[in-house]
Structure 1
């Protein structure tokens, strides 16, 4: 079974919709942290160019499906909507029982 790490940067205002969509799709866990940065869009007239966003990480075997759900829920068609990156993971170990995760455990 192949696992992937999805990292998504989304608008804070879209975070609740993304979380709800992932819960409806039975995604078993996500990590959310505050992020601050700038990308394609930056406000040169602001004293601080940095924009606050939410950063989500999901370890899953359903990478394409989960990425599509995040994009659908976070999309506003405006600059600054964010990004989703998918990276392969060599191994996932659940610390609680020192068990390597396998099929059906995303």
Structure 2
């Protein structure tokens, strides 16, 4: 089964760092098979005016999933990351054309992700 652009999504969530542990637990409980987390800096709705560059440190979560689960997973992240304040973060769902496994040098199957 080849990955079809219509069947795979990449979820990118940028959330408050202090909410990361709760979000990770809820994603595990929701059956998410894998994710990547990185530390990012930026500003948007909320900026730290007490620093010279206004930057705020957040956590970025990236998940590849099938289209049918993308909205459900985004909802799990929203519930766990919500704090009702500026700077709670954002979630983007993006279509994915292809994913390759470096180890096998082959295109990944949607069910593997």
TM norm structure 1: 0.89
Q: Give the 5 Å matches for 1:1-106.
A: 2-44=7-49, 46-48=50-52, 49-61=54-66, 62-106=69-113
Q: 1:9 to 1:103 in 2, by over 3 A?
A: closer
Q: Is the 8 A contact 2:10 2:65 kept in 1?
A: yes
Deviation of 1:103 (Å):
4.5
Mapped partners of 2:74, 2:11: distance in 1 = 7
Cα displacement string for residues 39-97 of structure 1 (whole angstroms, at most 9, x for unaligned residues): 012233x1331111001110111211111111111001111000000100011222222
Deviation of 1:30 (Å):
0.6
Write out the 4+ residue segments of structure 1 that deviate beyond 4 Å after TM superposition. Answer: none
Q: Name structure 1 gaps, 5 residues minimum.
A: none
Q: Is the 8 A contact 2:65 2:110 kept in 1?
A: no
Deviation of 1:9 (Å):
0.3
Mapped partners of 1:103, 1:6: distance in 2 = 14
What RMSD, in angstroms, separates the aligned Cα atoms of the two structures?
Answer: 1.4
